[in-house]
Amino acid sequence: MSISAILGGTFNPPHHGHITPALEVATHLGIKKLGLMPCKIAPHKPVQVEQKHRVNMVKVLCETDQRLYPELIELELPSPSYTVKTLKALKQRDKHTICFFIGADSLYTLHKWYVWETLLDYCHIVVMRRDDQQYSPPDHILPWLEAHTTTDVNTLHTAENGYVYLANSGLVTVSSTELRTKIQHEDDDNMQQWLSQPVLDYIRHHKLYKKK
């Protein structure tokens, strides 16, 4: 059964803080492909760049690792954007197993997502937790977690959907806002620790995140 992983985000800009741990988790799960899926951003949000630049930064990043590929389906779907609708569209298009990667912080607010109870109809959810992070999901999602959590990696490969897998990772919380601020103030000499060189080159070439 074909299987792929999807990591959604604003990717404004795409940085190592989440992508590197996601690749580590994908390797642990025996998944060979990780799709980076830019989400739609409301136009009123501050310090934004055009959607084409977010897409292009994802594309140049994906060229640095053969396991990565740009997944642009959410940008192509009609608004408003809901994760469950995106996953449904992905499932209908590709007909293969999807492991949707999220951080523990997203798990804790999952009950606020649009029809969140139906997410597992279209995917498995893989929760990336830092090794040193205290794991404390809210009480109101515990019954759902207990009903769907698996500790068997093989289950993700043999079942088409329906399971939650809790993965320990080296997930590092990096503030995209802080990264943009550093770039804005030309304090980007040590940015290679968070941004791939092609992404940093793209940002510099197009003068992204600079004050107008």
Q: Which tens digits make up the pLDDT trace of 114-149?
A: 999 999 999 999 999 876 667 788 898 999 999 999
Does the pLDDT at position 44 exceed 80?
no
CA distance 26 to 4: 9
Q: In CATH, what number does 3-172 get? A: 3.40.50.620
| The two structure tokens encoding residue 152 | 């068997």
Find where tokens 């074909």 sit. Answer: 2
Say which residue, 168 or 159, is predicted with more confidence. 159
CA distance 197 to 151: 37
Domain boundaries, the chain: 3-172
pLDDT per residue over 77-116, tens digit each?
998 889 999 999 999 999 899 999 999 889 999 999 999 9
CA distance 189 to 202: 15
pLDDT per residue over 173-199, tens digit each?
677 888 888 888 776 667 878 899 999
| The two structure tokens encoding residue 140 | 């109101």
